[in-house]
Amino acid sequence: MKERRWIYHLVQLAFVGALLGLWQFVTANGMVSPILLPSLSSSWDEFVDLLWTGSYLPDLEVTLYELVVAFAIAATLGCMVGYLTSRTRYSVRVFDPLFAGIFSIPTILLFPLYVLFFGLGAGSKIAIGSTIAFFPVVLNTIAGFANVDQLYIRAARAMGASGPQMFWSVMLPAAFPVVITGLRLGLLLAFLSILGSETIASLAGLGHRIVTYAESMDPAKMFAYIFFAVIMAVVLSTAVNYLEARVKRGHG
Amino acid sequence: MTEANGTVITVAGVSQVFGAAGDPRRVVALDNASLVVERGELLCLIGPSGCGKSTLLNLIGGLQTPSTGEVSIDGEKVRGPSPKKVAYMFQESALFPWRTVIDNVKLGLAFQGVAKGERDQRADEALNAVGLRDFANHYPAQLSGGMKQRAQLARALGLQTDILLMDEPFAALDEQTRMVMGEDLSVLLARTGKTIIFVTHSLVEAVFLADRVAVFSARPGRIKEVISVAEGHPRNRSFMTSDKLSRLRNQLYELLHDEIRKTLGESR
């Protein structure tokens, strides 16, 4: 089984390699205008330059700040509202489909309204990021707490568990694996929507930089920033996947 | 029978009804049950599915309140769980999967209100009593079905209550494991002198373990008859294969046969 997985990774790597090779091939042979698509090598040079000079730092700082604040709001509100909703079967029946319904509409359409309300700066990005991240958090929190095995609750009650003991030692650990999945989805969705909204209307941030370079016909620099954002996304999702797997390991 | 020195549990005219009057789904789970359990006695409840045996157990444990009638322990009316007096053991594994075996036992002690310093020692003792010391730091998912139930028993024993309620604790195990667990339980009980109420579907298990067997009728659940098994604890294999056990088992089967037929007819 182990060597099989090795082969899978090899094929995946070869696929990405082939895509990059194709890119280099079409640009090196002048099949696409360099103004539209720069060569892989020039983009790479810009990327290396970007890393060496550290010129990405101010934009990274803005985007990370927006992400951290948006996620903190979504996680706090989502967990609180989700837990309160899970308390009675009635509120689960009313609000769970409601949240799921709102989650299924493209909330990014609220972005122009948020720009009017919160301005072009970080405010509107935080607002859209936390709005979009709220839903997976709240939905999973409801699912996690509402579906705690009744047997655990009965056993704890029979042994004399108090209200706080029931919450901290039974409900929370039982619901945790489901809640953490919601938090992971929320974090990644917040990141995507913040980057996306920065490309629509913004003053600074990674998305802002990407769209600025595109508009100033400097696609090699644009790709350097795209590389940077892709690497950030990969690092972020690998980190939260790892954390989630670690947390769930104890949960047999 | 073990030394009978006084009544511990009194069940007086208890009924449990689910659903309002006139509701077509209204179920009388238990109809006017009365029962007295002596100290140190092992009472088995047996009957067709849905006859209210588990309901009666929940009423005694204070996990449900009866629609009418009264349950009392040591002369006090049961109004809710009484963790100092009554420990519970469930059918499926009610162990918390996110905690190791010993932490499960210790959490039970914490719920019951045992001081922190005392928990380690009591948890150790309980695991020793069921022979699970070597698996103290395993998670429930790493244990076999029989070991999980032993861990659950350890958690219940650690609470050091006088009364132990067991709701089909071995139901999910295969027959051989069940019989061996039954032998172990009989030895353990002879030592601790607890009062035990044990719900089971197995005729052999009921006769092998019980001092008395209460036979339930089909829905609405009533206590049809109570049979005595005059045999001292601990019991071993020779009792398992004895004529006495077969005779009592056959007697139980005669009593239950018609009731089982009724439940089959009902669900057709």
> Is residue B12 classed as helix, strand or coil in its secondary structure?
strand
B172 plus B69 within the same structural domain: yes
Residue that is written with structure tokens 């609000």 in the block: A95
| B89 Cβ contact partners less than 8 Å away, ≥ 6 residues apart | B149, B152, B153, B156, B164, B165, B166, B167, B169
Residues of chain A in contact with residue B59, where contact means CB-CB under 8 angstroms, are none
Q: Is B97 on the interface with A (CB under 8 A)?
A: yes
B125 plus B223 within the same structural domain: no
B264 plus B172 within the same structural domain: yes
Under an 8 A CB cutoff, do B96 and A174 touch?
Answer: yes
B77 plus B98 within the same structural domain: no
B116 plus B243 within the same structural domain: no
- Cβ-in-10-Å burial (0-12, 13-18, 19+) of A33 comes to exposed
ipTM confidence score: 0.86
B142 plus B232 within the same structural domain: no
Give the pLDDT confidence score for residue B232 in this predicted structure. Answer: 81
| Structure letter (DSSP) for residue B143 | S
Residues of chain A in contact with residue B142, where contact means CB-CB under 8 angstroms, are 252
Q: Is B84 on the interface with A (CB under 8 A)?
A: yes
- Closest residue in chain A to residue B103, using alpha carbons only: A169
Q: From B130, B160, B190, give the residue that closes a domain.
A: B160
Q: Which long-range contacts (CB under 8 A, 24 or more apart) does B228-236 make?
A: B228/B1, B230/B1, B232/B1, B232/B2, B232/B190, B233/B2, B233/B42, B233/B186, B233/B187, B233/B189, B233/B190, B234/B183, B234/B186, B234/B187, B234/B189, B234/B190, B234/B191, B235/B183, B235/B186, B235/B208, B235/B209, B236/B183, B236/B186
B80 plus B90 within the same structural domain: no
Mutate to test the interface with A, among B55, B78, B96, B103 (most CBs of A within 10 A): B96
| Structure letter (DSSP) for residue B63 | S
pLDDT tens, position by position, for chain B (268 residues)?
444 468 889 998 888 888 877 778 788 888 888 999 999 899 999 988 777 888 899 999 999 899 999 999 998 899 989 899 999 998 778 899 999 999 999 999 999 999 998 999 999 999 998 889 999 999 999 998 889 999 999 999 999 999 999 998 888 888 888 888 888 888 887 788 899 999 998 888 899 999 999 998 887 788 888 988 888 878 888 888 888 888 888 888 888 887 777 777 755 4
Q: Is the peptide bond before B220 cis (omega within 30 degrees of 0)?
A: yes
- Closest residue in chain A to residue B156, using alpha carbons only: A159
Residues of chain A in contact with residue B87, where contact means CB-CB under 8 angstroms, are 158-159
B237 plus B115 within the same structural domain: no
Residues of chain A in contact with residue B112, where contact means CB-CB under 8 angstroms, are 159-160
Under an 8 A CB cutoff, do B139 and A154 touch?
Answer: no
- Cβ-in-10-Å burial (0-12, 13-18, 19+) of A28 comes to exposed
Give the pLDDT confidence score for residue A3 in this predicted structure. Answer: 64
Total domains in chain B come to: 2
| CATH number for the domain that contains residue B61 | 3.40.50.300
Of A151, A165, A252, the CB nearest to B92: A151
Q: Is A2 on the interface with B (CB under 8 A)?
A: no
B206 plus B118 within the same structural domain: no
Residues of chain A in contact with residue B110, where contact means CB-CB under 8 angstroms, are 165, 169
| Structure letter (DSSP) for residue A149 | -
- d(CA B203, CA A66) in angstroms, rounded, equals 67
Q: Is B18 on the interface with A (CB under 8 A)?
A: no
Q: How far is CA A73 from the centre of its chain?
A: 14
Q: Which two structure tokens, joined as six digits, stand for B203? A: 């005729």
Residues of chain A in contact with residue B96, where contact means CB-CB under 8 angstroms, are 152, 169-170, 173-174
Under an 8 A CB cutoff, do A160 and B90 touch?
Answer: no
| B74 Cβ contact partners less than 8 Å away, ≥ 6 residues apart | B8, B85
> Is residue B213 classed as helix, strand or coil in its secondary structure?
strand
Give the pLDDT confidence score for residue B2 in this predicted structure. Answer: 42
Q: To the nearest whole angstrom, how far is the Cα of A227 from the nearest Cα of chain B?
A: 40
Consecutive H or E run containing B163: strand B163-167
Domain of B172 in residue numbering reads as 1-84+163-268
Of B62, B94, B108, the CB nearest to A152: B94
Q: How far is CA B49 from the centre of its chain?
A: 15
Q: Residue ranges per domain, chain A?
A: 1-32, 39-249
- d(CA B50, CA A156) in angstroms, rounded, equals 24
Q: Is A157 on the interface with B (CB under 8 A)?
A: yes
Give the pLDDT confidence score for residue B3 in this predicted structure. Answer: 44
Give the pLDDT confidence score for residue A252 in this predicted structure. Answer: 46
Q: To the nearest whole angstrom, how far is the Cα of A70 from the nearest Cα of chain B?
A: 31
- Cβ-in-10-Å burial (0-12, 13-18, 19+) of B117 comes to exposed
For the segment(s) A39-249, the CATH number from 3.40.50.620, 3.40.50.2000, 1.10.3720.10, 3.40.640.10 is: 1.10.3720.10
Q: To the nearest whole angstrom, how far is the Cα of A100 from the nearest Cα of chain B?
A: 29
Low-confidence residues of chain A: pLDDT under 70: 1-3, 249-252
- Closest residue in chain B to residue A162, using alpha carbons only: B111
B164 touches B194 (CB < 8 A) = yes
Q: Which two structure tokens, joined as six digits, stand for A141? A: 């929190």
B64 plus B169 within the same structural domain: yes
Q: To the nearest whole angstrom, how far is the Cα of A244 from the nearest Cα of chain B?
A: 14
B171 plus B264 within the same structural domain: yes
B259 plus B178 within the same structural domain: yes
Residue B175's CB is within 10 A of a number of other CB atoms, namely 11
- d(CA A31, CA B160) in angstroms, rounded, equals 83
Q: Is A174 on the interface with B (CB under 8 A)?
A: yes
- d(CA B37, CA B214) in angstroms, rounded, equals 11
- d(CA B140, CA B120) in angstroms, rounded, equals 19
Q: From B113, B137, B160, give the residue that closes a domain.
A: B160
Query: Tens digit of pLDDT for each residue in A99-121?
Result: 999 998 888 888 999 999 999 99
Q: What stretches of chain B show up as alpha helix (H) in DSSP?
A: 53-61, 101-112, 116-129, 145-158, 175-192, 203-209, 237-240, 243-266
